[in-house]
Structure 1
Amino acid sequence: MASADVTQNYDRIKDLEQFDHNKNGVKGLKDSGMASIPKFFIQPPEVLSTLKPLPQTNTGDIPVIDLENINSQTHRPEIVKQIKEAAKEWGFFQVINHGIPISVLEKTIQAVKLFHEQPDEVKAKYYGREMTSGFAYSSNVDLYNAKAATWHDYLQLWMAPEEQAAKVEDIPEIVREEAVAWDGFAKKLAEEVMELLCEGIGLESSRFKELSCSSQRLLVGGYYPYCPQPDLTLGLAPHTDSGTITILLTNQISGLQVKHGQEWVDVQPLPGAIISNGEYNSLEHRVRANTCQEARISVTEFFNLTKWKEYGSFGPLPELVSREKPALYRQFNEHDYYSNLHVNGLECKSMVEKFKLKNP
């Protein structure tokens, strides 16, 4: 079996820096026609052992929530119940009849694809590792921190708050109109889902919105080109999202896996469906390296808090804590949050686990 172990003569940092300096991403490596991936993409043995061909996975249990009657007093309680169960059991579900036109889904995916498939010299103008504001294109957000790189590139676009958001004129024209439109639809959907999640645990439907849970928005357009050695690397490492909710749109190329119990479960994209990752259960997920000649495209929007100064810190909501149900997590402030974010790359350990009380 191939291994991430390398000879003493191998200068990993030099190779990482050269890859970063080229600004061509993994698409550039794929386009070069290479038959084998660079050593720094090869995953450690404990990961390689999970990349063997899997038997046909039963995906029928992954929750699918129909939002068609979300505003019906008759049907809404059942939708709340379904979302509550899905979020607690899986932390993940697909939504259908969400009200976003199919044409918008298709245009958004196509715009991200077209951006990544521009000539290298065009994309290189936007290449960088600045993560805190504006627009950027890069490869592997955790390139220098992770044990091994993964086979994907991405564009990232801050949509809110205003002080972080990219100016409209600074967004590349090839993706500008579609990204702005998608942000509006995704925000509406995220807030509708958060209302249902609030109602599921007995809160006022607007509670999460009042706490600013959707006020910070980051759009990431992922590109997973064909990988010549998919048994040696991943498209995206196992991790849990650190925000309050994530909205994910993909094309019909599979690859996403979610961890349910101790098993990795394949997620088969439903045409027109959108994936929502709620924080009832902080779900571990990953992306297998792409075995198809056609690129896998993902459009992910992360929603998070902004009212750090107003609230000072966040933690278990008072209305959910009692003598019978004591707090399981400590309060954390903005410094705690960002100092624990991706310290060692996209690690598996959930952010919420880092704030868990040892003796609640």
Structure 2
Amino acid sequence: MEKMLHSAPAHGRLPECFIFPADKLPQAKATSATVSLPIVDLSLGRDEVRRAILEAGKEIGFFQVVNHGVSLEAMQDMETVCQEFFRLPAEDKAGLYSEDTGRATRIYSSTMFDTGAEKYWRDCLRLACSFPAVGDSAAAWPDKPRRLREVVERFTVQTRGLGMEILRLLCEGLGLRPDYLEGDISGGDVVLHVNHYPPCPDPNATLGLPPHCDRNLLTLLLPSMVPGLEVAYRGDWIRVEPVPGAFVVNFGCQLEVVTNGILKSIEHRVMTNLGVARTTVATFIMPTTDCLIGPAAEFLSDDNPPCYRTLTFADFKRIYSVVKLGSSLNLTTNLKNVQKEL
């Protein structure tokens, strides 16, 4: 637990292991232009929603959804209980600390794939939830704060339901059968990352998370109202301004593979700030480990051959952890490079 940022006394200066050399720090600041993530209202007509999601996905790869069906109570309770968790005494969380990336429920600092000398300014509570055996998963989650298991279970069930509806809308818009992305490709554990970014004494010298693409199928982020997420866009970075009551949605690498590149998994990063702690909850819709994933036949032709190899999700994860998050901060977003390593 001594490695956890939030458990240490307030930092007067940035510890040396978090300071990046100048050539590894991002040179581009978030754009000041009037570019923002599209906002999709899921209460509108189905045809209109399908078009909006596809347009947003193709243009930026990220969008925010409102009127999405996840109750405001579930969202507020999740925010509250996660903040309460990080305020617990260190002894109440010590048994959860682990650097074993195979452990389903744990807390850790920085990222799962640290291979360089520098660390990232983040603590994370990782929770995994199997469907439909949600109750069995909850038994492994922390029992403090008292309401955590109940709140996380309700939030996860509702958020996964939202994710599956977005996937159905995408399938319809792409001309696939509505349930094409159901089954093993979305049937793995739903993984939650409760990300906690404490106030940082020198935000210009470090990052909360490096530029990366998500390796899963679909991500839904419950954002803090404290900005920090930035999205790559046309050689620049968009600073995401969260909308109250909205989820931020982005496509994972597996969705790019299935659509043979029609939809893109877009690079994003997290910046730190000087004065305020920031807590977010990322919900990852994951394939099963042995799911074989490749471009759908519907997107292939003599003029449009496969851009990606067909791999099991386990093989993809193994290579991703080496290639996508190596010691360099200039991370490649080319999935072909990941697959060439096999």
Please report the TM-score for the alignment, with normalisation by the length of structure 1.
Answer: 0.83
Change (3 A) 1:305 1:116: same
**Structure 1 partner of 2:265:** 282
* Partner SS for 2:129: strand
Give the corresponding residue for 1:43. Answer: 20
* Residue aligned with 2:139, SS: helix
Residue identity opposite 2:14 in structure 1: I
Name 1:242's counterpart in structure 2: 215
Extract structure 1 runs of 4+ deviating beyond 4 A: 161-166
Post-superposition shift, 1:87? 1.2
Residues 216-235 of structure 1 mapped to structure 2, 5 A cutoff: 216-235=189-208
Shift of 1:244: 0.6
Alignment of 1:124-139 (within 5 A): 124-139=94-109
Tell me, yes or no, if structure 1 residue 215 matches structure 2 residue 193. no
TM-score with structure 2 setting the length: 0.87
Q: Distance in 2 between matches of 1:344 and 1:325?
A: 26
- SS of 2:126's equivalent in the other structure is strand
The residue aligned with 1:198 is 171
Contact 2:114 2:325 in 1 (8 A): no
Q: Percent identity?
A: 29
2:133 & 2:110 partners in 1: Cα distance? 25
In structure 2, the gaps of 5 or more residues are 256-262
Partner of residue 32, structure 2:
56
1:34, distance to aligned residue in structure 2 (A): 2.9
Distance across 2 between alignment mates of 1:204 and 1:55:
38
- How far residue 345 of structure 1 moved from its aligned partner, in angstroms, is 6.9
Q: Which residue of 2 aligns with 1:343?
A: 322
Q: For residue 301 of structure 2, what is the aligned residue in structure 1? A: 322
Structure 1: segments with no counterpart, 5+ residues? 1-21, 70-74
**Kindly tell me: are residues 166 and 297 of structure 1, through their superposed partners in 2, closer, same or farther at Cα, counting changes over 3 Å?**
farther
1:353 Cα deviation after fit: 3.6
Q: CA deviation at 1:165?
A: 9.3
Count of residues paired in the alignment = 324
Q: 1:270 to 1:81 in 2, by over 3 A?
A: same
The residue identity in structure 2 corresponding to 1:35 is G
CA displacement, residues 151-185 of structure 1 (integer Å, 9 cap, x when unaligned)? 11010011026899974233112221111111101
1:95 to 65, 79, 82: 65
Give the whole-Å Cα distance in 1 for the aligned partners of 2:339 and 2:193. 29
Task: Tell me what 2:259 maps to.
Answer: none
Structure number, greater radius of gyration: 1
What's the CA shift for 1:344? 5.7
Q: Distance in 2 between matches of 1:250 and 1:292?
A: 17
Alpha-carbon distance between aligned partners in 1 of 2:210 and 2:7, rounded to the nearest angstrom: 20
Letter in 2 for 1:66: D
Work out the CA distance in 2 between the residues paired with 1:246 and 1:191. 11
Separation of aligned partners in 1, 2:136 and 2:97: 15
CA RMSD of aligned residues (A): 2.5
Q: 1:300 aligns with which of 255, 273, 282?
A: 282
| Residue of 59, 65, 74 corresponding to 2:40 | 65
2:180 paired with 1:189: no
Report how far residue 277 of structure 1 moved.
0.7
Paired residues of 1:230 and 1:288 also in contact (CA < 8 A): yes
1:223 positional shift: 0.5
